[in-house]
Amino acid sequence: MVRRRKTVRRKKRFVISAIETGAALSLASSAGVDSALKDALGGNLGSALSTIQTSVASNRNQIIGTLGAAFVGKMLAKSFGNGQLAKLGPISIKA
């Protein structure tokens, strides 16, 4: 009789990148996504797209700065050993 192998149950984990999450929230704020989303849900898609277009054009320098800061932060975080900032149960926050 052949012995059956036991299947290994892996724990589910969620990894959240703190730098990428912060950059995404900042970019969404700079692009005016909140007001554009309200317009789009109201049925006015043209107004939503024009809102994003004007916000991106007017906040271009801030968006470029955010992307540059996120890039530098990611490069610095890779130089650290583990890069794990916090862990709570199955959720871990990495740099």
Q: Which helix (H) or strand (E) holds 72?
A: helix 60-79
Name residue 16's beta-bridge partners: 93
Query: Which pLDDT score, from 0 to 100, does residue 89 have?
Result: 82
pLDDT tens for residues 31-40?
Answer: 999 999 999 9
Number of compact structural domains in the chain: 1
69: in domain: yes
Q: Do residues 18 and 84 lie in contact, with contact meaning Cβ atoms separated by under 8 Å? A: no
Domain interval for residue 80 = 16-94
34 in a domain, yes or no? yes
pLDDT at 90: 84
- pLDDT digits over 42-78, tens only? 999 999 999 999 999 999 999 999 999 999 988 888 7
pLDDT grade, residue 84 (50/70/90)?
A: confident
Cα separation, 51 vs 66, whole angstroms: 20
Residue 11 is assigned to a structural domain of this protein:
no
CA angle 85, 29, 47 (to 5 degrees): 150
Separation between Cα atoms, residue 79 and residue 74, nearest integer Å: 9
- Token pair 């939503």 is found at 48
